[in-house]
Structure 1
């Protein structure tokens, strides 16, 4: 190989080599970004759990919902530990706390808690409280968003990050607490 061929080879390999050097330097940051992405689908049809959770966090912070102290109570601690082992399971378990609190609040207000098939239902309880004007719009919207996220955790193949499950659990416990603090009354 003569000097001209070596020079041509260097010119050809310079750009890919530069990209590899930059990529290896940015590897930790890229891995963090990749870890936060929970699902990707062509056409943007499916929203990611983490993206919806981010929107929910912003809404709840604007309305003064979230209280980080929940992480340290008994149920909060259990959910935080469960999120490490089974993030999807922690989301479903946290949602159950919301349902139970909603049913309790509706019963306390003397409202129906039975859904269309005659079964006791958290959804029916919340709809009844909403219809009677016993829930603020922000509480109702938080309930709907958390329900959507729970459905993603329970009914899709999407794997939820432990950090997202922990955050979801805190938001769910705060909403359940809100139902318990104002049973049957406007919040």
Structure 2
């Protein structure tokens, strides 16, 4: 009788585990994946939340819709946007980096000059300059600074994966900001 009791005792935990996995396996698997993603991808979660916050702020800011027809001289700008969308297919991180350059170049086109023989762009200086010159509002300046911070995360925190969707969402806002900087007069909406 003691052999049977020892056998039942030895099999109790493994059988309980098999039953638990059978009954709750999918839920446990989802929980483990979610926990491991948050644990291993904290930067990824922060970037996603930051991008959502930027999108909410962009919806409150007076931005130019990127779907507006661009003037004839901005055909190159349209080609560049298409190129950035193609880059997002291959490397979302690179697309985010290049999208930020649209904002820096728009500041230059709007008249911001820094540096002597070698032009340099300091985001804090050009954001302040854009506000002083009345090219953007303070709420838009906050948005541009948050975009800069997201770009920095994409550049310097390499331990997480960016998605094509995130890159395209970032690109859309970068295009809207750059159009606003270049053409501060908003169309009637």
Instruction: Confirm or deny a common fold (TM above 0.5).
Output: yes
Q: Is the 8 A contact 2:38 2:45 kept in 1?
A: no
Q: Is the 8 A contact 1:38 1:48 kept in 2?
A: no
Match of residue 55 from structure 1 = 53
Match of residue 97 from structure 1 = 102
Structure with higher RCO (Cα < 8 A, 6+ apart): 2
Q: Is the 8 A contact 2:65 2:176 kept in 1?
A: yes
Q: Normalising by the residue count of structure 2, what TM-score does the alignment of the two structures yield?
A: 0.69
Deviation at 1:80, TM superposition (A): 2.2
Match of residue 113 from structure 1 = 113
Aligned counterparts of 2:115 and 2:172: Cα–Cα separation in 1: 27
Aligned counterparts of 1:34 and 1:79: Cα–Cα separation in 2: 31
Structure 2 matches for 1:106-185, cutoff 5 A? 107=111, 112-114=112-114, 119-121=119-121, 123=123, 124-162=125-163, 163-182=165-184
Structure 2 matches for 1:27-66, cutoff 5 A? 27=29, 39-40=41-42, 48-63=46-61, 65=63
Is the partner of 2:160 in helix, strand or coil? coil
Is the partner of 2:42 in helix, strand or coil? coil
Aligned counterparts of 1:49 and 1:142: Cα–Cα separation in 2: 15
Stretch deviating more after TM superposition (160-169 or 82-91) = 160-169
Gaps of 5+ in 1: none
- Can you list the C-alpha shifts for 1:114-141, whole angstroms capped at 9, x where unaligned? 1599734262332212234442122101
Query: Size of the alignment, in residue pairs?
Result: 172
Query: 1:24 is matched with which residue: 26, 38, 56?
Result: 26
Query: 2:101 matched to 1:86?
Result: no
Q: C-alpha root-mean-square deviation of aligned residues, in Å?
A: 3.7
Deviation at 1:26, TM superposition (A): 6.4
Q: Is the 8 A contact 1:143 1:175 kept in 2?
A: yes
